[in-house]
Every structure is written in structure tokens, then in C-alpha cells.
Amino acid sequence: MRWFWIDRFTEFVSGSHASGIKNVALDEEVLDDYCLAYPYLPPTLIVEGMAQLGGILVAEHFDWDQRVVLAKIGKAVYHRPALPGDQLRYHVRLEGTQDHGATVIGTSHCDGELQAEIELMFAFLEPGRFAEGSLFHPGDLAIMLRTMNLFNVAVDKQGNPLAISDKI
């Protein structure tokens, strides 16, 4: 099972914000056992989806030089369950940056209604912490992001298409 919790990037503006889609499907294993007889996407995986969206926003802002990890969930509010057949539209905004981390605010909408709201804090792993070098094998992150449509929608601060960095 691949740890992808967004299906597609739909918007990405470097250093500012990003949007993406998560489709909830009944054939997803994760819906099977979470709540018997009432399948829905576990809220923690909605956080994970927006963390993936936000983590990429942060990592790209720092030119892919930092090993970005989700460090803290400052707030998470769920307004309705995400049921099979729902399409969640995630939006994240870069709120603050520091030398050692960044904060992101995110929302999830379904059928035009606010479905969830979160505040996330990312930290940068110090050199040598857990492992040396990148968290990804060379090229893996680029393949993952291409699969998720990032480079078809991503633009830099001037609105120019974002190039695929050789750092990923």
C-alpha cells in the first residue's frame, strides 16, 4: 500500500498555498475496519493528507534542502465524516516560517461545505537525526509528485511553471 493521502494536486503556488483532491472510495482497505457498518475515512488520514500537501509546500519553499516532518498538530476540527463517494478538497496555506520549521493552516471542503480545519507545525530534522541525507531514495519523491500531478499545476512566485528540481 502506498502512503499517498491525496490523489492529485490541483493548485500550487510556491511559498504561498496549495490545493489538492482526496477521493474517498469504498474499496480502500483503510475504511474496512475503522468503524464497522459505518465506513468513513479516518480523520487522522485527513490530517495526513493535508500534512502531505503542506509538507510539500514547505519543502519546496526551502528549495528541497530541508528534511521536513510533521511535528505538531495545533488544531484539528472535524465538521462531518468523509464517506465513500465523497470528494475532499484540501487547501493549505503557508502561515509562518523559521530557520527550523514552518506552520501551515489547512481546510477540507466537501460538496462546498467546510469538512475539517487544521493547524500544523512542521520541523526540520537536524543533520544526522534518524538518518543522513534525504528521507527519499534519489528520484522517488519526484516520481511521487509527478504521479500526483504537481508539476502540471505548480507555479513559482512569479507565476512561471515550477521546474522539477534535481534535488528530489
Q: Site residues (CB under 8 A) for another protein?
A: 71-72, 74, 95-96, 98-101, 103, 121, 123
Q: Which is nearer to another protein, 75 or 167 (CB)?
A: 75
| Residue 98 beta carbon to another protein: minimum distance, rounded to whole angstroms | 6
d(CA 154, CA 145) in angstroms, rounded, equals 11
The residue among 50 and 88 lying less far from another protein, judged by its C-beta, is: 50
Residue closer to another protein, measured from CB, 94 or 142: 94
Q: What are phi and psi of 95, to 5 degrees?
A: -100, -45
Give the other-Cβ count within 10 Å of 113's Cβ.
9
90 neighbors 108 (Cβ within 8 angstroms)? yes
**Residue 129 phi/psi, 5° resolution?**
-75, 120
CB of 35 to another protein, least distance (A): 27
Whose Cβ is closer to another protein: residue 97's or residue 165's?
97
State the nearest-atom distance from the C-beta of 163 to another protein, in Å: 30
Query: Bridge-partner residues for 107, per DSSP?
Result: 91, 117
Q: Shortest approach of another protein to residue 100 CB, angstroms?
A: 6
What sign has the CA pseudo-torsion 40, 44, 45, 50?
Answer: positive
